[in-house]
Amino acid sequence: MASEVVDATAPKPRGGRFCTVCNERRAALKRPKTLEQICKECFYAVFEDEIHRVIVDNHLFKPGERIAIGASGGKDSTVLAYVLSELNIRHGYGLDLFLLSIDEGITGYRDDSLETVKRNEIQYGLPLKVVSYKELYGWTMDEIVKLIGLKNNCTFCGVFRRQALDRGAALLKVDKLVTGHNADDIAETVLLNILRGDIARLSRCTSITTGEDGPIPRCKPFKYTYEKEILRSWALNLLFTYAYFKRLDYFSTECIYSPNAYRGFAREFIKDLERIRPRAILDIIKSGEDFRISTSTKMPEQGNCERCGYISSQKWCKACVLLEGLNRGLPKLGIGRTRGLNNERNKDMKETNGTKALQSKQFGTLDF
Amino acid sequence: MSCNSGTCESGCYREEYSGDDVRHDRPLVTGNCQESNGVSSRGGDSNSPGLCIKCKVNETIVSTHPAIAAGGGDCIRFCADCFRSNLFGKFRFAVTSNAMISPSDNVLVAFSGGPGSRVALQFVHEMQHKSQKNFDASRDRSLPVFGVGVAYIDESIISPIPSNDFDSGIDEMKLIVSSLAPPSKQFFVIPTESIYSPDCAAGRDQLTKLASAVSDVTGKEDLVEHLRMLSLQKIATENGYTKIVLGTCTSRIACHVLEATVKGQGFSLSADIQYVDARWEIPVVLPLRDCLSEELNTLCNLDRLKLLLHDGSFFYCQDSLRTIDVLQQPRSGINGLIASFVKLLQQENPSRESTIVRTAGKLTPFCFNRIPEVGDDNGHLASQRRQKKYNLKPNESLPPESFCIICNSPLKKTGSATFNDIDNGETRAAAACSSCQYQILPKDPSSLEYFYSLLPRSMSARARDGNISHELLRDQIKDYLLSDSNDGT
């Protein structure tokens, strides 16, 4: 990963490599998406302009809307926060922007990245709200992992985060949530859904906006943005800040609890694919958008959780089921399909693939 | 955004999704067990280990042929005979439920020498042979026996093969085809360049120029495949064949699903992966669609070993499912990457290929993905009724307006057909899919005209004349059309 940054910073003394866009300045890097030589200024310009086009062409926002930016402190959400606040001013979107961060309570991981978000709050002048698992659910991920071990911990975190984001968004009284999911993420998800047989998710996972029929719609302005370009943008930005060397650690940090092997397969494959043909990432997304999927694919009926009122297709929302399990020392409650389910309370959970409600369909399909 | 560690301790996704996801710590239970192979797995517990769970008499393959029972799966459950009949059962089911072969058909089997087409050829022959026996035994001789021919497309001008290997490979194929008699079968060995003209030298020259005009490795490989289909179509049309049989198996389709996805061909994907593809002049059928390459390999190995064990010497026998390895070409570029990827996934979970194909099978097919109904042949209406009916909505059942001139994939109505820069009034400029535009057609406009001139007529004719269904439609309504001079334009 460090070599990515070196690529951008290495001076190009061998003469004559000029930016193909402005033809004035020296090229500083090769654009990952198009492989054209480009200088820093033009790269920023074209990067930001493409995002602006995506926002406008897809009618993502309306003037006067309050927008929460899901901010993890990682490179995607940091760049997203920066770019959105820039474009908001430059093009007069008229948006009220907020940063929304989720504290899962993972020592040594989340507490570090939260520092970055707090810095973003100051740097970009965007009010920050932090919602923690502890205050919402009474449990931190550290405590959960201590109880259930390293199996299925991602299940808990994913379910809790989804609700946490919605609750945080509700507390901020925002109209929409934006997340930093990029083209690589979406391409991976398309592949994963094909590999795992999830045709229903496959039909939704390329939508730039999801959850319009729920309380808080979510959109992904980076849908067509290559991860490598976000990386370059972020890295270039850092070079000129005093905190450069300290911050470099963050983007190579992954959640300490989450070896998600399956996405790893897809990720590796996409990296290899990108090397042969960079545009393939966007081609995957295009395929995802073009798949002929019958619109009569069954959607779950939308009701409300009896326990907490959150949107749910079952009697209890998934978070409540999982919490019940935690509080009663039954770590397998709500996990998998037939194992360890509580019959008295949730007979219906047994029949459903419990994880269908895991990433409650009405709220889109991707993890934060 | 997502995490990327290599080890999996949480297993969080593995158990939670599709019903065929299998835990990798129980390698004996594979996705196959849940598929329709007619055998219930519940009997497993009451069986003695090592006995076939179907006939309960013979030993399982893993006992009788330990060398080939590498992958587990059916080798652990079935004996050699039941394994074979299971596979043939899948073939026969595909053929009957999709009305692939009717008694009046002449079927051309595409033979590459690989395991898929070898098994397809074998099974088609066995079906024909049985049909012949029934015919001979019946008194009224009412149901004719379908004919079978075999074709090998020689692509050596593009991907050279050492001439010794080539000659011995072809000889072996000839021997195989001649051993599959009665009834006897014609065997065609046709070079790709013959789609241009009967004059081999001119055809070779044009084909070489065409191939070298494609710079993208994957594009070239795909173009060769498209030419292969055109060659098969030509042989079939010129020799009176009414169906083309391909030995495409589940594994190959799984690869194609991913190939089409990464090339941006999500819209047309469902057209290529059904049992029947009737957009061509001669419909193409895939009777081995439900068989895994591993099963087909095992079958070929089984019979080959039986041959060797028999008396140690090498002799040709009707049962020998030998494959011609020297003629097999590995895939390269993106297709090669995907082949390795799928292999890796399949190793990690033996039901992965099936899951991929099942997912893609849920995509809506096209109106041409079934055998066209022939109303005048009363005796065969029963087989028509048995054919799979897709519930297509009215707008989905309309024929696509246009097809890509290179790969013949149905084009989405909005915009994917437009060319980025050509505006010289040529209507044919519009008719290529975005994938072929990128990986096959030349980038600069000035080379485009030249490239078009290199295409075989059967390809460029698609552009000139529009697609077939428009012609047919026009034929039907021509009596009602006003002539051009009447409408004032």
Give the pLDDT confidence of B155-214 residue by residue, as tens digits. Answer: 999 988 898 989 999 999 999 999 998 899 999 999 999 999 888 888 999 999 999 999
CB contact under 8 A, A260 and B2: yes
Residue A126 and residue A178 in contact, taking contact as beta carbons nearer than 8 Å: no
Interface test with A, best of B3, B332, B338 (most A CBs within 10 A): B3
Q: Chain B: give the shortest CA distance to residue A143, in Å.
A: 16
Q: Residues of B with CB below 8 A from A332's CB?
A: none
| Mean model confidence pLDDT for chain B | 79
Q: pLDDT higher for B306 or B243?
A: B243
Range in A295-299, B253-257, B294-298, B365-369 the model is least confident about = A295-299
Give the helix ranges, DSSP H, for B213-326.
217-238, 250-262, 269-272, 293-311
The share of chain A scoring above pLDDT 70, in percent, equals 79
CB contact under 8 A, B359 and A199: yes
Give the pLDDT confidence of A284-293 residue by residue, as tens digits. Answer: 999 999 999 9
Check whether A72 is labelled as a binding-site residue: yes
Give the pLDDT confidence of A332-353 residue by residue, as tens digits. Answer: 887 765 433 334 344 444 333 3
| Model confidence at B9: pLDDT above 80 | no
Task: Please work out, in degrees rounded to the nearest 5, the angle formed at the alpha carbon of residue A134 by the alpha carbons of A170 and A160.
Answer: 60
Give the helix ranges, DSSP H, for B362-444.
381-386, 434-439
Confidence of residue A367 (pLDDT cuts 50, 70, 90): very low
Long-range pairs for B442-449 at CB < 8 Å and ≥24 separation?
Answer: B442/B213, B442/B215, B445/B421, B447/B213, B448/B422
Give the pLDDT confidence of A303-322 residue by residue, as tens digits. Answer: 888 988 888 888 998 899 99
CB contact under 8 A, B2 and A196: no
Angle of helix B445-454 relative to helix B200-212, nearest 10 degrees, comes to 150
Per-residue pLDDT at B280:
93
CB contact under 8 A, A293 and B261: no
Residues 175-204 of A with CB under 8 A from B: 180-182, 185, 188, 190-191, 193-199, 202
Confidence of residue B397 (pLDDT cuts 50, 70, 90): low
Q: Residues of A with CB below 8 A from B257's CB?
A: 194
The pair of three-digit structure tokens given for residue B437, joined into one six-digit string: 């535009």
Confidence of residue B482 (pLDDT cuts 50, 70, 90): low
Give the chain B residue nearest A367 (alpha carbons): B2
Q: Is A120 on the interface with B (CB under 8 A)?
A: no
CB contact under 8 A, B12 and A290: no
CB contact under 8 A, B3 and A254: yes
Per-residue pLDDT at A213:
76
CB contact under 8 A, A261 and B257: no
**What number is the average pLDDT over the span B313-340?**
75
| Model confidence at B484: pLDDT above 70 | no
| Model confidence at B470: pLDDT above 90 | no
Residues forming a β-bridge with B152: B189
Check whether A180 is labelled as a binding-site residue: yes
In the chain, the amino acid numbered A38 is I
CB contact under 8 A, B6 and A185: no
Confidence of residue B314 (pLDDT cuts 50, 70, 90): very low
Per-residue pLDDT at A109:
75
Cα separation of A282 and A274, whole Å?
10
Per-residue pLDDT at A358:
37
Q: Residues of B with CB below 8 A from A283's CB?
A: 261-264, 435
Parallel/antiparallel/unpaired status of strands B147-154 and B186-191: parallel
Give the pLDDT confidence of A56-94 residue by residue, as tens digits. Answer: 999 999 999 999 999 988 888 888 998 999 999 999 999
Q: Residues of B with CB below 8 A from A337's CB?
A: 15-16
Q: Residues of A with CB below 8 A from B393's CB?
A: 294
Q: Residues of B with CB below 8 A from A284's CB?
A: 261-262, 264
| Model confidence at B14: pLDDT above 70 | no
Range in A12-21, A53-62, A199-208, B32-41 the model is least confident about = B32-41
Interface test with A, best of B17, B257, B346 (most A CBs within 10 A): B17
Check whether A336 is labelled as a binding-site residue: no
Give the pLDDT confidence of B113-148 residue by residue, as tens digits. Answer: 999 999 999 999 999 999 999 999 988 888 899 999
Give the chain A residue nearest B15 (alpha carbons): A336
pTM for this predicted structure: 0.80
Q: Is B345 on the interface with A (CB under 8 A)?
A: yes
Give the pLDDT confidence of A23-39 residue by residue, as tens digits. Answer: 998 888 888 888 888 88
Check whether A334 is labelled as a binding-site residue: no
**B53 DSSP 8-state letter:** T
**B135 DSSP 8-state letter:** H
The pair of three-digit structure tokens given for residue B158, joined into one six-digit string: 């593009």
**What number is the average pLDDT over the span B385-404?**
68
Per-residue pLDDT at B97:
95
CB contact under 8 A, A336 and B15: yes
Q: Chain B: give the shortest CA distance to residue A203, in Å.
A: 10
Cα separation of A39 and A32, whole Å?
13
Q: Residues of B with CB below 8 A from A150's CB?
A: 9-10
Q: Chain B: give the shortest CA distance to residue A112, in Å.
A: 16
Residues forming a β-bridge with A30: A37
